[in-house]
Structure 1
Amino acid sequence: MPTMPKSLFWARTDTAGAEHALLDDRDGLTARGVAVAVDPIPCTCRYQLTTGPDWTVRRLEVEAEGAGWQRSVRLEPAGDRWRVTTSEQGDLDAALRAAGHPPAGPPGTDEPDRLADAVDVDLGGSPLFNTLPVRRLRLASAAADTTHRITVAWVLVPSLAVVPAEQVYTALGAGRVRFTSGTFTTDLDVDPDGWVSRYPGLAERVPGR
Protein backbone atom coordinates (compact mmCIF):
# COMPACT_ATOMS: atom_id res chain seq x y z
CA MET A 1 0.00 0.00 0.00
CA PRO A 2 1.63 3.30 -1.08
CA THR A 3 2.38 6.04 1.41
CA MET A 4 0.49 9.32 1.14
CA PRO A 5 2.10 12.79 1.07
CA LYS A 6 -0.70 14.68 2.86
CA SER A 7 -2.60 14.29 6.11
CA LEU A 8 -5.76 16.11 7.20
CA PHE A 9 -7.45 15.85 10.61
CA TRP A 10 -10.87 17.12 11.67
CA ALA A 11 -12.42 17.20 15.14
CA ARG A 12 -16.18 16.71 15.22
CA THR A 13 -18.11 19.57 16.79
CA ASP A 14 -21.56 17.95 16.80
CA THR A 15 -20.55 14.89 18.82
CA ALA A 16 -17.48 13.17 20.23
CA GLY A 17 -15.48 12.03 17.22
CA ALA A 18 -12.80 12.81 14.64
CA GLU A 19 -11.66 12.03 11.10
CA HIS A 20 -8.13 11.47 9.81
CA ALA A 21 -7.45 11.31 6.07
CA LEU A 22 -4.24 10.46 4.25
CA LEU A 23 -4.26 11.58 0.65
CA ASP A 24 -2.51 12.35 -2.61
CA ASP A 25 -4.12 15.06 -4.74
CA ARG A 26 -1.40 15.60 -7.33
CA ASP A 27 -3.39 13.90 -10.14
CA GLY A 28 -6.98 13.68 -9.03
CA LEU A 29 -7.43 12.21 -5.57
CA THR A 30 -6.45 9.05 -3.79
CA ALA A 31 -7.51 9.05 -0.14
CA ARG A 32 -7.70 6.69 2.82
CA GLY A 33 -9.54 7.80 5.91
CA VAL A 34 -10.80 6.74 9.31
CA ALA A 35 -13.68 8.43 11.12
CA VAL A 36 -14.95 7.66 14.60
CA ALA A 37 -18.09 8.97 16.28
CA VAL A 38 -20.30 8.06 19.21
CA ASP A 39 -23.67 9.05 17.66
CA PRO A 40 -26.08 7.54 16.82
CA ILE A 41 -24.06 4.59 18.19
CA PRO A 42 -20.27 4.28 18.64
CA CYS A 43 -18.68 3.16 15.39
CA THR A 44 -15.55 3.32 13.28
CA CYS A 45 -15.83 4.11 9.58
CA ARG A 46 -12.95 3.48 7.15
CA TYR A 47 -12.93 4.55 3.52
CA GLN A 48 -10.79 4.41 0.40
CA LEU A 49 -11.55 6.85 -2.41
CA THR A 50 -10.14 7.19 -5.92
CA THR A 51 -11.00 9.81 -8.54
CA GLY A 52 -9.78 10.55 -12.04
CA PRO A 53 -7.63 13.59 -12.88
CA ASP A 54 -10.86 15.59 -13.33
CA TRP A 55 -11.99 14.64 -9.81
CA THR A 56 -14.86 12.44 -10.96
CA VAL A 57 -15.19 9.35 -8.77
CA ARG A 58 -13.77 6.05 -9.92
CA ARG A 59 -14.29 4.01 -6.76
CA LEU A 60 -15.37 4.38 -3.14
CA GLU A 61 -15.06 1.61 -0.56
CA VAL A 62 -16.47 2.10 2.94
CA GLU A 63 -16.42 -0.17 6.01
CA ALA A 64 -18.34 0.62 9.19
CA GLU A 65 -18.01 -1.38 12.40
CA GLY A 66 -19.38 -1.33 15.93
CA ALA A 67 -20.10 -3.74 18.77
CA GLY A 68 -21.72 -6.84 17.27
CA TRP A 69 -21.88 -5.68 13.64
CA GLN A 70 -19.86 -4.84 10.55
CA ARG A 71 -20.87 -3.56 7.11
CA SER A 72 -19.20 -2.59 3.86
CA VAL A 73 -20.22 -0.99 0.57
CA ARG A 74 -18.33 -0.39 -2.68
CA LEU A 75 -19.45 2.10 -5.33
CA GLU A 76 -18.06 2.13 -8.86
CA PRO A 77 -19.39 3.91 -11.94
CA ALA A 78 -20.29 1.41 -14.65
CA GLY A 79 -21.32 3.16 -17.84
CA ASP A 80 -24.50 5.13 -17.20
CA ARG A 81 -25.14 3.57 -13.77
CA TRP A 82 -23.36 2.69 -10.53
CA ARG A 83 -22.29 -0.77 -9.44
CA VAL A 84 -23.06 -1.19 -5.73
CA THR A 85 -21.58 -4.13 -3.79
CA THR A 86 -22.28 -4.76 -0.09
CA SER A 87 -21.55 -7.15 2.74
CA GLU A 88 -22.95 -7.42 6.26
CA GLN A 89 -22.11 -9.32 9.45
CA GLY A 90 -23.84 -9.22 12.82
CA ASP A 91 -26.92 -7.13 13.57
CA LEU A 92 -26.68 -3.33 13.32
CA ASP A 93 -30.43 -2.95 13.73
CA ALA A 94 -30.30 -4.71 17.09
CA ALA A 95 -27.54 -2.36 18.24
CA LEU A 96 -29.56 0.67 17.13
CA ARG A 97 -32.73 -0.54 18.85
CA ALA A 98 -30.80 -1.16 22.07
CA ALA A 99 -29.67 2.48 21.94
CA GLY A 100 -33.21 3.72 21.34
CA HIS A 101 -32.88 4.39 17.60
CA PRO A 102 -34.98 3.05 14.71
CA PRO A 103 -33.56 0.23 12.56
CA ALA A 104 -31.32 1.21 9.66
CA GLY A 105 -32.31 -1.33 7.05
CA PRO A 106 -29.83 -3.01 4.68
CA PRO A 107 -26.64 -1.43 3.30
CA GLY A 108 -26.37 -0.31 -0.33
CA THR A 109 -29.46 0.14 -2.49
CA ASP A 110 -32.04 -2.08 -4.12
CA GLU A 111 -32.45 0.45 -6.94
CA PRO A 112 -29.02 1.42 -8.35
CA ASP A 113 -30.73 3.11 -11.32
CA ARG A 114 -31.79 5.87 -8.90
CA LEU A 115 -28.10 6.85 -8.70
CA ALA A 116 -27.72 7.26 -12.48
CA ASP A 117 -27.48 11.08 -12.32
CA ALA A 118 -24.86 11.10 -9.56
CA VAL A 119 -21.37 12.31 -10.45
CA ASP A 120 -19.99 12.78 -6.94
CA VAL A 121 -20.25 10.68 -3.79
CA ASP A 122 -20.81 11.92 -0.25
CA LEU A 123 -20.11 10.10 3.01
CA GLY A 124 -22.24 11.05 5.99
CA GLY A 125 -20.35 13.02 8.64
CA SER A 126 -17.19 13.47 6.54
CA PRO A 127 -16.05 16.99 5.54
CA LEU A 128 -13.49 15.51 3.13
CA PHE A 129 -16.18 14.57 0.63
CA ASN A 130 -17.39 18.16 0.21
CA THR A 131 -14.07 18.84 -1.49
CA LEU A 132 -14.97 16.58 -4.44
CA PRO A 133 -17.44 19.03 -6.06
CA VAL A 134 -15.48 22.04 -4.79
CA ARG A 135 -12.38 20.85 -6.66
CA ARG A 136 -14.19 19.36 -9.67
CA LEU A 137 -16.15 22.58 -10.22
CA ARG A 138 -13.25 24.91 -9.21
CA LEU A 139 -15.42 26.66 -6.66
CA ALA A 140 -12.59 27.78 -4.37
CA SER A 141 -11.49 30.30 -7.02
CA ALA A 142 -14.82 30.87 -8.78
CA ALA A 143 -16.55 34.24 -8.92
CA ALA A 144 -18.97 34.92 -6.09
CA ASP A 145 -22.50 33.61 -6.71
CA THR A 146 -21.31 30.89 -9.10
CA THR A 147 -23.80 28.10 -8.41
CA HIS A 148 -23.90 24.42 -9.33
CA ARG A 149 -26.72 21.97 -8.61
CA ILE A 150 -25.54 18.35 -8.50
CA THR A 151 -26.76 14.89 -7.61
CA VAL A 152 -24.59 12.73 -5.35
CA ALA A 153 -24.63 9.13 -4.22
CA TRP A 154 -24.93 9.72 -0.48
CA VAL A 155 -23.64 6.95 1.80
CA LEU A 156 -25.37 7.11 5.18
CA VAL A 157 -23.45 6.20 8.35
CA PRO A 158 -23.67 3.79 10.12
CA SER A 159 -26.15 1.96 7.85
CA LEU A 160 -24.09 2.40 4.64
CA ALA A 161 -27.38 2.70 2.77
CA VAL A 162 -26.83 4.61 -0.49
CA VAL A 163 -29.41 7.17 -1.63
CA PRO A 164 -29.45 9.88 -4.31
CA ALA A 165 -29.34 13.42 -2.93
CA GLU A 166 -29.54 16.78 -4.65
CA GLN A 167 -26.99 19.32 -3.42
CA VAL A 168 -26.26 22.92 -4.33
CA TYR A 169 -22.82 24.52 -4.06
CA THR A 170 -22.42 28.30 -4.37
CA ALA A 171 -19.10 30.15 -4.36
CA LEU A 172 -19.17 33.08 -1.93
CA GLY A 173 -15.62 34.30 -2.44
CA ALA A 174 -12.93 34.78 0.22
CA GLY A 175 -12.55 31.05 0.86
CA ARG A 176 -16.21 30.29 1.52
CA VAL A 177 -18.67 28.00 -0.25
CA ARG A 178 -22.37 27.69 0.57
CA PHE A 179 -23.62 24.12 0.76
CA THR A 180 -27.33 23.34 0.55
CA SER A 181 -29.07 19.97 0.69
CA GLY A 182 -32.85 19.96 1.07
CA THR A 183 -33.72 22.37 3.87
CA PHE A 184 -30.16 22.33 5.27
CA THR A 185 -27.76 25.19 4.43
CA THR A 186 -24.34 26.04 5.80
CA ASP A 187 -21.33 28.11 4.70
CA LEU A 188 -18.14 26.08 4.49
CA ASP A 189 -14.72 27.62 5.05
CA VAL A 190 -12.28 26.15 2.52
CA ASP A 191 -8.56 26.63 2.00
CA PRO A 192 -7.04 27.55 -1.41
CA ASP A 193 -6.92 23.85 -2.34
CA GLY A 194 -10.62 23.38 -1.59
CA TRP A 195 -10.22 21.37 1.62
CA VAL A 196 -12.82 22.17 4.26
CA SER A 197 -11.33 23.90 7.28
CA ARG A 198 -14.64 24.55 9.04
CA TYR A 199 -18.04 22.93 8.57
CA PRO A 200 -20.33 24.73 11.06
CA GLY A 201 -22.16 22.28 13.27
CA LEU A 202 -20.14 19.27 12.08
CA ALA A 203 -16.35 19.56 12.15
CA GLU A 204 -13.29 21.80 12.23
CA ARG A 205 -9.80 21.09 10.91
CA VAL A 206 -7.17 20.81 13.60
CA PRO A 207 -4.54 23.55 12.92
CA GLY A 208 -1.32 22.30 11.41
CA ARG A 209 -2.81 19.00 10.20
Structure 2
Amino acid sequence: MGLLSAGLFWERRDVPGAEQVRLTDRDGLYAQGTVLAAAPVGYACHYELQTDPGWTTARFDVRAEGAGWTRGVRLELAAGRWRVTTSEQGDLDAALVAAGHARAGLPGIEDPDQLYGAFDVDLAGSPLTNTLPIRRLGLQTKGDNAGVSHRLSVAWVLVPSLEVVQADQIYTPLDDGRIRCAGETFAADLTVDDGGFVVDYPGLARRITPGRGSS
Protein backbone atom coordinates (compact mmCIF):
# COMPACT_ATOMS: atom_id res chain seq x y z
CA MET A 1 0.00 0.00 0.00
CA GLY A 2 2.98 2.32 0.52
CA LEU A 3 3.07 5.39 2.73
CA LEU A 4 -0.25 6.74 3.95
CA SER A 5 0.10 10.51 3.86
CA ALA A 6 -3.25 11.55 5.37
CA GLY A 7 -3.67 11.39 9.14
CA LEU A 8 -6.42 12.14 11.65
CA PHE A 9 -6.41 12.30 15.44
CA TRP A 10 -9.34 12.38 17.87
CA GLU A 11 -9.39 13.03 21.60
CA ARG A 12 -11.95 10.94 23.46
CA ARG A 13 -14.49 12.83 25.56
CA ASP A 14 -16.27 9.90 27.22
CA VAL A 15 -13.18 8.26 28.75
CA PRO A 16 -9.47 9.14 28.81
CA GLY A 17 -8.25 8.05 25.40
CA ALA A 18 -7.62 8.88 21.76
CA GLU A 19 -7.72 7.55 18.21
CA GLN A 20 -5.03 8.05 15.58
CA VAL A 21 -5.38 6.87 11.99
CA ARG A 22 -3.41 7.00 8.75
CA LEU A 23 -5.42 6.62 5.57
CA THR A 24 -5.95 7.11 1.87
CA ASP A 25 -9.37 7.63 0.29
CA ARG A 26 -8.46 7.85 -3.37
CA ASP A 27 -10.30 4.65 -4.34
CA GLY A 28 -12.55 3.82 -1.43
CA LEU A 29 -10.85 3.80 1.97
CA TYR A 30 -7.75 2.11 3.27
CA ALA A 31 -6.91 2.94 6.89
CA GLN A 32 -4.61 1.83 9.68
CA GLY A 33 -5.55 3.09 13.13
CA THR A 34 -5.06 2.77 16.86
CA VAL A 35 -7.59 3.43 19.61
CA LEU A 36 -6.37 3.90 23.19
CA ALA A 37 -8.75 3.99 26.16
CA ALA A 38 -8.50 3.76 29.93
CA ALA A 39 -11.94 2.22 30.51
CA PRO A 40 -13.52 -0.20 31.18
CA VAL A 41 -9.93 -1.49 31.42
CA GLY A 42 -6.84 0.00 29.85
CA TYR A 43 -6.42 -1.25 26.28
CA ALA A 44 -4.93 -0.53 22.88
CA CYS A 45 -6.94 -1.45 19.79
CA HIS A 46 -5.16 -1.65 16.44
CA TYR A 47 -7.11 -1.98 13.20
CA GLU A 48 -6.73 -2.17 9.43
CA LEU A 49 -9.72 -1.32 7.25
CA GLN A 50 -10.27 -1.77 3.52
CA THR A 51 -13.40 -0.84 1.54
CA ASP A 52 -14.27 -1.30 -2.11
CA PRO A 53 -14.42 1.80 -4.37
CA GLY A 54 -18.05 2.36 -3.33
CA TRP A 55 -17.06 2.47 0.38
CA THR A 56 -18.64 -0.87 1.27
CA THR A 57 -16.46 -2.64 3.83
CA ALA A 58 -14.40 -5.44 2.30
CA ARG A 59 -12.07 -6.33 5.18
CA PHE A 60 -11.62 -5.25 8.78
CA ASP A 61 -8.81 -6.63 10.94
CA VAL A 62 -8.79 -5.56 14.58
CA ARG A 63 -6.69 -6.55 17.58
CA ALA A 64 -7.28 -5.40 21.16
CA GLU A 65 -4.73 -5.95 23.91
CA GLY A 66 -4.22 -5.12 27.55
CA ALA A 67 -2.40 -6.43 30.61
CA GLY A 68 -2.60 -10.23 30.51
CA TRP A 69 -4.81 -10.61 27.42
CA THR A 70 -5.15 -10.07 23.68
CA ARG A 71 -8.00 -10.68 21.22
CA GLY A 72 -8.31 -10.48 17.46
CA VAL A 73 -11.13 -10.48 14.90
CA ARG A 74 -11.12 -10.42 11.11
CA LEU A 75 -14.32 -9.58 9.22
CA GLU A 76 -14.50 -10.07 5.46
CA LEU A 77 -17.48 -9.28 3.24
CA ALA A 78 -17.78 -10.89 -0.20
CA ALA A 79 -20.86 -11.51 -2.35
CA GLY A 80 -23.07 -10.24 0.48
CA ARG A 81 -21.80 -12.76 3.04
CA TRP A 82 -19.62 -12.09 6.06
CA ARG A 83 -16.79 -14.32 7.16
CA VAL A 84 -15.57 -13.88 10.73
CA THR A 85 -12.42 -15.39 12.25
CA THR A 86 -11.18 -14.84 15.80
CA SER A 87 -8.24 -15.37 18.12
CA GLU A 88 -7.84 -15.04 21.88
CA GLN A 89 -5.02 -15.32 24.43
CA GLY A 90 -4.98 -14.60 28.13
CA ASP A 91 -7.94 -13.63 30.31
CA LEU A 92 -9.81 -10.40 29.59
CA ASP A 93 -12.58 -11.45 31.99
CA ALA A 94 -10.14 -11.48 34.91
CA ALA A 95 -9.10 -7.91 34.13
CA LEU A 96 -12.72 -6.75 33.82
CA VAL A 97 -13.87 -8.43 37.03
CA ALA A 98 -10.89 -7.01 38.92
CA ALA A 99 -11.95 -3.54 37.72
CA GLY A 100 -15.53 -4.13 38.89
CA HIS A 101 -17.11 -4.83 35.49
CA ALA A 102 -19.12 -7.71 34.06
CA ARG A 103 -17.45 -10.44 32.04
CA ALA A 104 -17.03 -9.86 28.32
CA GLY A 105 -18.73 -11.66 25.47
CA LEU A 106 -16.65 -13.90 23.23
CA PRO A 107 -14.84 -12.26 20.30
CA GLY A 108 -16.60 -12.46 16.93
CA ILE A 109 -20.14 -13.66 16.32
CA GLU A 110 -21.52 -17.19 16.51
CA ASP A 111 -23.63 -16.88 13.36
CA PRO A 112 -22.20 -14.45 10.76
CA ASP A 113 -25.46 -14.74 8.76
CA GLN A 114 -26.97 -12.41 11.37
CA LEU A 115 -24.94 -9.69 9.64
CA TYR A 116 -26.58 -10.29 6.26
CA GLY A 117 -27.57 -6.95 4.76
CA ALA A 118 -24.86 -5.01 6.63
CA PHE A 119 -22.33 -3.15 4.48
CA ASP A 120 -20.45 -1.20 7.15
CA VAL A 121 -18.44 -2.01 10.26
CA ASP A 122 -18.77 0.21 13.31
CA LEU A 123 -15.94 -0.04 15.83
CA ALA A 124 -17.30 1.14 19.17
CA GLY A 125 -15.66 4.39 20.25
CA SER A 126 -14.13 5.05 16.80
CA PRO A 127 -15.26 8.20 14.93
CA LEU A 128 -13.40 6.96 11.84
CA THR A 129 -15.88 4.16 11.16
CA ASN A 130 -18.82 6.61 11.13
CA THR A 131 -17.43 7.86 7.82
CA LEU A 132 -18.20 4.55 6.10
CA PRO A 133 -21.99 4.93 5.73
CA ILE A 134 -21.64 8.70 5.28
CA ARG A 135 -19.45 8.28 2.21
CA ARG A 136 -21.17 5.14 0.93
CA LEU A 137 -24.52 6.98 0.91
CA GLY A 138 -23.10 10.36 -0.13
CA LEU A 139 -24.42 12.10 2.97
CA GLN A 140 -21.46 14.48 3.26
CA THR A 141 -22.79 16.63 0.39
CA LYS A 142 -24.18 19.54 2.38
CA GLY A 143 -27.76 20.52 1.62
CA ASP A 144 -28.56 17.41 -0.41
CA ASN A 145 -31.32 15.16 0.94
CA ALA A 146 -31.56 17.10 4.20
CA GLY A 147 -34.09 15.47 6.48
CA VAL A 148 -34.09 12.17 4.57
CA SER A 149 -33.34 9.29 6.95
CA HIS A 150 -31.35 6.22 5.94
CA ARG A 151 -31.88 3.09 8.03
CA LEU A 152 -29.03 0.61 7.86
CA SER A 153 -27.64 -2.50 9.47
CA VAL A 154 -24.02 -2.51 10.69
CA ALA A 155 -21.53 -5.00 12.06
CA TRP A 156 -20.93 -3.40 15.46
CA VAL A 157 -17.61 -4.41 17.03
CA LEU A 158 -17.59 -3.94 20.80
CA VAL A 159 -14.37 -3.08 22.62
CA PRO A 160 -12.43 -4.39 24.34
CA SER A 161 -14.24 -7.74 23.94
CA LEU A 162 -14.33 -7.59 20.11
CA GLU A 163 -17.73 -9.23 20.25
CA VAL A 164 -19.54 -8.55 16.94
CA VAL A 165 -23.26 -7.86 16.96
CA GLN A 166 -25.78 -6.75 14.36
CA ALA A 167 -27.06 -3.24 15.09
CA ASP A 168 -29.62 -1.00 13.38
CA GLN A 169 -28.70 2.65 12.91
CA ILE A 170 -30.31 5.67 11.25
CA TYR A 171 -28.28 8.40 9.51
CA THR A 172 -30.07 11.67 8.68
CA PRO A 173 -28.45 14.73 7.03
CA LEU A 174 -29.60 17.93 8.76
CA ASP A 175 -30.23 21.41 7.32
CA ASP A 176 -27.15 22.83 9.05
CA GLY A 177 -24.80 20.31 7.40
CA ARG A 178 -24.47 18.03 10.42
CA ILE A 179 -25.47 14.37 10.23
CA ARG A 180 -27.60 12.73 12.91
CA CYS A 181 -26.56 9.20 13.84
CA ALA A 182 -29.10 7.34 15.98
CA GLY A 183 -29.64 3.87 17.38
CA GLU A 184 -31.93 2.27 19.91
CA THR A 185 -30.25 3.92 22.90
CA PHE A 186 -28.41 6.97 21.52
CA ALA A 187 -28.53 9.89 19.10
CA ALA A 188 -25.77 12.33 18.18
CA ASP A 189 -25.49 15.13 15.65
CA LEU A 190 -22.11 14.73 13.99
CA THR A 191 -20.11 17.61 12.55
CA VAL A 192 -18.17 16.35 9.52
CA ASP A 193 -15.76 17.87 7.03
CA ASP A 194 -16.16 17.90 3.24
CA GLY A 195 -14.75 14.38 3.07
CA GLY A 196 -17.31 13.02 5.51
CA PHE A 197 -14.78 12.54 8.33
CA VAL A 198 -16.01 13.37 11.81
CA VAL A 199 -14.83 16.65 13.32
CA ASP A 200 -17.03 16.50 16.41
CA TYR A 201 -19.02 13.61 17.86
CA PRO A 202 -20.75 15.10 20.93
CA GLY A 203 -20.07 13.08 24.05
CA LEU A 204 -17.60 10.76 22.31
CA ALA A 205 -14.69 12.49 20.57
CA ARG A 206 -13.42 15.69 18.99
CA ARG A 207 -10.83 15.91 16.25
CA ILE A 208 -7.53 17.53 17.11
CA THR A 209 -5.06 19.18 14.77
CA PRO A 210 -1.66 18.27 16.25
CA GLY A 211 0.03 21.39 17.59
CA ARG A 212 -3.12 23.50 17.18
CA GLY A 213 -5.68 21.96 19.54
CA SER A 214 -9.26 21.24 18.51
CA SER A 215 -10.10 21.65 14.81
The alignment's TM-score, normalised by the length of structure 1, stands at 0.97
Number of the residue aligned with 1:59: 59
Matched, 1:68 2:68: yes
CA distance in 1 between counterparts of 2:68 and 2:177 reads 42
For 2:72, what is the secondary structure of its paired residue?
A: strand
Q: Deviations over 1:133-184 (max 9, x none)?
A: 0001011113311211000000000000000000000000333000001131
Q: Is the 8 A contact 1:143 1:173 kept in 2?
A: no
Deviation at 1:2, TM superposition (A): 1.7
Deviation at 1:85, TM superposition (A): 0.3
Q: Deviations over 1:74-130 (max 9, x none)?
A: 000133321000000000011100100000021001111111121111001000000
CA RMSD of aligned residues (A): 1.1
Q: Is the 8 A contact 2:58 2:78 kept in 1?
A: no
Number of the residue aligned with 2:192: 190
Indicate the larger mover: 78-87 or 22-31.
78-87
Matched, 1:140 2:152: no
Q: How does 1:6-85 map to 2 (within 5 A)?
A: 6-85=6-85
Number of the residue aligned with 1:158: 160
Deviation at 1:197, TM superposition (A): 0.2
Aligned AA for 1:14? D
Where do 4+ consecutive residues of structure 1 move more than 3 Å? none
Q: Deviations over 1:182-202 (max 9, x none)?
A: 131110000111000000000
CA distance in 1 between counterparts of 2:79 and 2:195 reads 30
Deviation at 1:207, TM superposition (A): 2.9
For 1:159, what is the secondary structure of its paired residue?
A: coil
Percent identity between the aligned chains?
57
For 2:129, what is the secondary structure of its paired residue?
A: helix
CA distance in 1 between counterparts of 2:154 and 2:47 reads 17
CA distance in 1 between counterparts of 2:6 and 2:170 reads 28
Q: How many residues align?
A: 209
Aligned AA for 2:75? L
CA distance in 2 between counterparts of 1:113 and 1:77 reads 11
